[in-house]
Structure 1
């Protein structure tokens, strides 16, 4: 059974992340929508010289980050009109539920669409259980270094080829964005975070076993968190508290260790090893292997590979 569509306090249907791309007059230059990522959705748009558009209220929060360019823009939201220049490095923040009007010119913009449930989940982890205690403020323009950094990370991942590690990277950046919105832009205070115990030995073993069984594909933070029945926000903190490394780093360490075993104990080609350990191609596998071990897979194979041991003497 389908969930009811969100409705604004005025009775207007709220537009979802999936619907907004069809309402806008232009298609994005690039988007994360076809990547299968959870968390924040990113749409990258070209500059526009003749913007004049009114949009219905959204069911999600919008961060619009300007990676380059400069343009004069008039914004109308919640009965307030703001005219200003948006330039590289600046962001604007529009909370869910706002009808918005945009006029003038728009520079290149990366639209980060943050699900309201993501921010609500972060609030629960920080100690605020009531949805009414979260109200993201409307910000017409700001230079927020953390938003800029996280937006650039997501844009950099958008330029990369699909890779199993991206799910964990995007999950953690999405969690960081939600937490930052609560810390810097929530109209209400957040209660002190609850102190909870770390993961137990059996839980670590369950997570490790799951990772080992799925090294050949993308592994998301949410699915790891579900193994121990906590939110992904809580999981990332608990996992590092319990193991000393982040989930991203732990998964990649296991991938590299699996690759070393395959190279040393089987006749599997390096290209096949790359695929078997979740890397999109041999080139990316080589770069990551070198970064974590200090040597290339080929060099490791020459020193430890099964083929070398089986080579007959001259």
Structure 2
């Protein structure tokens, strides 16, 4: 689909935006008349090429599941990335925008400017000139994610008098967080991405160990934990203290050691079964990790090698 709108003289409001977009939400809180954040849920869009006018409110697009490669354009800058589960995009009021590529499923949180101003007053900022929300093309923010999940959960529940109180407090908390973490007048505090969980590490390890007989790419490993290759590289190093490539190689060497000790397979077959391109490469990497050549390791552990194996 392709839709282009000229930038309007008057920014588009939360009520008007549903009539401006080329697609419709699959679920929304609009009928609930929440006074805080409005939440619109959108299904994945495989073919996007849209340009939209500026908004009079702040927008957070949170990806709850799936992944898609998306190009965003705002404030004269263009950003391309793989948007995956847990990623948020923050577009401040007053920015016209360009969206191209594919869009993942999104929860779009629309925050009234008045809510930001009210939170600013509560934090001692008496003037709106002290508040300017940053444009952020991509972030993994656990607070935004937590708030988005709460609001999505309330959308899934039947309306209840308590819901207004919950949404009001959560909305105000989100506004306060944006002022604290995304106000251009506040110092930028680098955020470390959350580490991979033990379950995710176990899932990755099981996948690697089941595929040691072939090359394993970073893209496929990143897909297992539903993040981009770029984020996966940093997350894995942060979580394990080593690169994913080093981890895979260590798994290959451990498997090779087990095969050498427990079988009489020729070393050339051990090399192929553990994903090394040839026996010479296998020998070099094995010696680097273990301190022995594969043949010396076999002799040290008392196993007789098959005649088809070439001595190392």
Please give the range of the TM-score, normalised by the shorter of the 2 chains: 0.5 to 0.7
Task: Give 5+ residue unaligned stretches, structure 1.
Answer: 1-9, 191-314
Query: What residue is the counterpart of 1:93 in the other structure?
Result: 90
> Could you give the per-residue CA deviations for residues 154-189 of structure 1, whole angstroms, max 9, x where no partner exists?
000000001010000000000000000000000013
Q: Which has the larger radius of gyration?
A: 2
Query: What residue is the counterpart of 2:15 in the other structure?
Result: 18
1:23 positional shift: 0.6
1:36 positional shift: 1.6
Query: What residue is the counterpart of 2:105 in the other structure?
Result: 108
Query: What residue is the counterpart of 1:302 in the other structure?
Result: none
> Could you give the per-residue CA deviations for residues 98-136 of structure 1, whole angstroms, max 9, x where no partner exists?
010000000000000000110011001110111111000
Does the Cα contact within 8 Å between 2:58 and 2:112 map onto a contact in 1? yes
Aligned counterpart in structure 2 of residue 29 of structure 1, from 18, 26, 40 = 26
> Could you give the per-residue CA deviations for residues 24-80 of structure 1, whole angstroms, max 9, x where no partner exists?
111100000001211100000000000110000000000000000100000000000
Structure 2 Cα separation of the partners of residues 173 and 141 of structure 1: 22
Query: What residue is the counterpart of 1:222 in the other structure?
Result: none
Query: What residue is the counterpart of 1:123 in the other structure?
Result: 120
Structure 2 Cα separation of the partners of residues 189 and 42 of structure 1: 27
Confirm or deny that 1:184 pairs with 2:181.
Answer: yes
Relative distance call for 1:11 and 1:163 in structure 2 (3 A) is closer
Task: Give 5+ residue unaligned stretches, structure 2.
Answer: 1-6, 188-312
CA RMSD of aligned residues (A): 1.3
Structure 2 Cα separation of the partners of residues 117 and 31 of structure 1: 21
> Could you give the per-residue CA deviations for residues 252-301 of structure 1, whole angstroms, max 9, x where no partner exists?
xxxxxxxxxxxxxxxxxxxxxxxxxxxxxxxxxxxxxxxxxxxxxxxxxx
Q: Secondary structure at the match of 2:68?
A: strand
Q: Secondary structure at the match of 1:140?
A: strand
Q: What is the total number of aligned residue pairs between the two structures?
A: 181
Aligned counterpart in structure 1 of residue 74 of structure 2, from 68, 77, 81 = 77
Structure 2 Cα separation of the partners of residues 12 and 130 of structure 1: 24
Structure 2 Cα separation of the partners of residues 124 and 169 of structure 1: 21
Structure 1 Cα separation of the partners of residues 184 and 163 of structure 2: 32
1:22 positional shift: 0.7
Does the Cα contact within 8 Å between 2:131 and 2:185 map onto a contact in 1? yes
Q: Secondary structure at the match of 1:20?
A: helix
Aligned counterpart in structure 2 of residue 53 of structure 1, from 50, 71, 80 = 50
Query: What residue is the counterpart of 1:227 in the other structure?
Result: none
Structure 2 Cα separation of the partners of residues 189 and 145 of structure 1: 19
Aligned counterpart in structure 1 of residue 152 of structure 2, from 155, 171, 183 = 155
Q: Secondary structure at the match of 1:118?
A: helix
Q: Secondary structure at the match of 1:27?
A: coil
1:11 positional shift: 8.0
The alignment's TM-score, normalised by the length of structure 1, stands at: 0.57
Query: What residue is the counterpart of 1:312 in the other structure?
Result: none
Confirm or deny that 1:169 pairs with 2:163.
Answer: no
Q: Secondary structure at the match of 1:51?
A: strand
How do residues 1-314 of structure 1 correspond to structure 2 at under 5 angstroms?
Answer: 12-189=9-186
Structure 1 Cα separation of the partners of residues 176 and 25 of structure 2: 27
The alignment's TM-score, normalised by the length of structure 2, stands at: 0.57
Does the Cα contact within 8 Å between 2:65 and 2:85 map onto a contact in 1? yes
Q: Secondary structure at the match of 2:31?
A: coil
Does the Cα contact within 8 Å between 2:89 and 2:138 map onto a contact in 1? yes
